Amino acid sequence: MKDKKQKNSSIIWILLSTILLIIITAITGISLFRVYMGNFTEVEDVKSYDKYYVMITEDRKSSFWQSVYAGAYEAGLSENTYVDMLGDNLTSDYSREDLMNIAISSEVDGIIVAADESEQMSALIDEAAIKGIPVVTLVGDNTHSNRCSFVGVGGYNVGTEYGQQVLQIIKESEAKPKTKVSVLVNANALDSGQNIICSGIQDTLDRAKEEGKEIEMTLVSVDNTNAFSVEESIRDIFMEEDIPDIIICLNELNTTCVYQAVVDYNKVGEVSILGYYDSETIIKAIDRNVIYATVSIDTKQMGEFCVNALSEYHELGYTSQYFTADIELIKKANVHKYLEGGEDNE
């Protein structure tokens, strides 16, 4: 009986400790944010803004998200609104969900978040909406929430473009009895967007199969917890005996890691890469014939759409449900326009 009481006491102690830790973490996060905002006010006391929006993403340091943020920041300034990449000036590395809680508690004027379809994200977006804070989902959507708008790309069209490039690669390469295509998908996110892209790829390839081409498409899960886990997942692909002929990447980090793996394992010319985004590394890899092509997103336009949606919602009480950013395919034939110092460099 005594052991049972001790066991129950231990369980209660663990539960209380866990609850206390959660409360301390939340209070610390909010306190740090308020200190940051105090510093922001001191620095910006000569300038008063009408609105304060925050952007929340997982990989804030990537060139893709920095470019999207730059577009949002510039659009905000034109409307006397300050857009902040939330988390950049906090000492700890908070998750998207933690940052959502901080933004809601701080009563910001609008939230731009790279969301997913998780129940936790739905609840946070709905909580913000109840408190009068409009939320725009960016790249990754949450269709079951009360977000006011979604800014992304036409996923099915992107998938169709990838599929057409696969067929072009097959046409240009030596005839093989079967072409193995691997699409890298995020294993840690409930992302309807990547599913739509995969549907576009599959439908395009299915039509080619009717013409007698044998193409095997598989989805390969990549652990996107951090850059190291991504590298490990991709290196596992190259350790297998049957390496894909074509690898399709749906984000910037995967593209860069696959490019590096192809070089490290001496598979240049054997594995064709279809990438995502137009970072300097990716552009140079296309110029060197290591990456076959990449889908370029108008990130500045994407950031502008986010700010426009929030501002329109504040002004009218509603906004468009969807904003679709422009895309462009970059390959060897037109890569000179994107090389540093080239004509029409974007």
Residues 112 and 91 grouped into a single domain: yes
> So what's the pLDDT on residue 43?
43
Q: Mean pLDDT over all residues of the chain? A: 87
Asked whether residue 179 is domain-assigned, the answer is yes
Q: Is the pLDDT of residue 65 over 70?
A: yes
Q: Is the pLDDT of residue 131 over 80?
A: yes
> So what's the pLDDT on residue 233?
94
> So what's the pLDDT on residue 152?
94
More confident residue, 299 or 59: 299
Residues 169 and 210 grouped into a single domain: yes
**Quick one: pLDDT band at residue 6, thresholds 50, 70, 90?**
low
Distance from C-alpha of 33 to C-alpha of 29, rounded to nearest angstrom: 6
Distance from C-alpha of 138 to C-alpha of 58, rounded to nearest angstrom: 12
Asked whether residue 172 is domain-assigned, the answer is yes
Residues 290-333 pLDDT 10s:
999 999 999 999 999 999 999 999 999 999 999 999 999 999 99
Asked whether residue 346 is domain-assigned, the answer is no
Helix (H) or strand (E) holding 230: helix 227-239
Please state, in angstroms and as integers, the Cα–Cα distance from residue 291 to each residue in 100, 181, 248, following that order: 36, 15, 10
Residues 138-188 pLDDT 10s:
999 999 999 999 999 999 999 999 999 999 999 888 767 889 999 999 876
Split into its structural domains, the chain has a count of 3
Residues 34 and 52 grouped into a single domain: no
* pLDDT > 90 in the chain, percent: 67
Asked whether residue 345 is domain-assigned, the answer is no
> So what's the pLDDT on residue 1?
52
More confident residue, 93 or 326: 326
Q: Is 182 left (phi over 0), alpha (psi -120 to 50) or beta?
A: beta
Contact 303, 70 (CB under 8 A): yes
199: exposed, middle or buried (Cβ count in 10 Å: 0-12, 13-18, 19+):
middle
Distance from C-alpha of 56 to C-alpha of 61, rounded to nearest angstrom: 12
Residues 133 and 229 grouped into a single domain: no
Please state, in angstroms and as integers, the Cα–Cα distance from residue 298 to each residue in 77, 114, 302, following that order: 19, 16, 6
Specify which of 29-33, 61-65, 286-290 reaches the highest per-range mean pLDDT.
Answer: 286-290
Residues 163 and 278 grouped into a single domain: yes
Asked whether residue 214 is domain-assigned, the answer is yes
Residues 175 and 273 grouped into a single domain: yes
> So what's the pLDDT on residue 177?
81
CA-wise closest residue to 68 among 297, 293, 224: 297
> So what's the pLDDT on residue 11?
65
Distance from C-alpha of 169 to C-alpha of 95, rounded to nearest angstrom: 39
Residues 107-121 pLDDT 10s:
999 999 999 889 999
Residues 22 and 142 grouped into a single domain: no
CATH number at residue 320: 3.40.50.2300
Q: Is the pLDDT of residue 344 over 50?
A: no
Residues 141 and 248 grouped into a single domain: no
CA-wise closest residue to 95 among 111, 114, 78, 108: 114
Asked whether residue 343 is domain-assigned, the answer is no
Q: What is the mean pLDDT of residues 24-38?
A: 60
Asked whether residue 344 is domain-assigned, the answer is no
Q: Is the pLDDT of residue 102 over 70?
A: yes
Distance from C-alpha of 180 to C-alpha of 163, rounded to nearest angstrom: 13
Residues 247 and 233 grouped into a single domain: yes
Residue-number span of the structural domain to which 8 is assigned: 1-46
Q: Is the pLDDT of residue 20 over 70?
A: no
Query: What does the block give as tokens for 132?
Result: 């009068």
Asked whether residue 96 is domain-assigned, the answer is yes
Residues 51 and 86 grouped into a single domain: yes
Residues 82 and 180 grouped into a single domain: no
Contact 298, 119 (CB under 8 A): no
The residues near 282 (Cβ < 8 Å, ≥ 6 apart) are: 252, 255, 256, 259, 275, 291, 294
25: exposed, middle or buried (Cβ count in 10 Å: 0-12, 13-18, 19+):
middle
Residues 240 and 168 grouped into a single domain: yes
CA-wise closest residue to 200 among 68, 295, 115: 295
Please state, in angstroms and as integers, the Cα–Cα distance from residue 122 to each residue in 126, 137, 152, following that order: 6, 11, 18
Residue type, 230: V
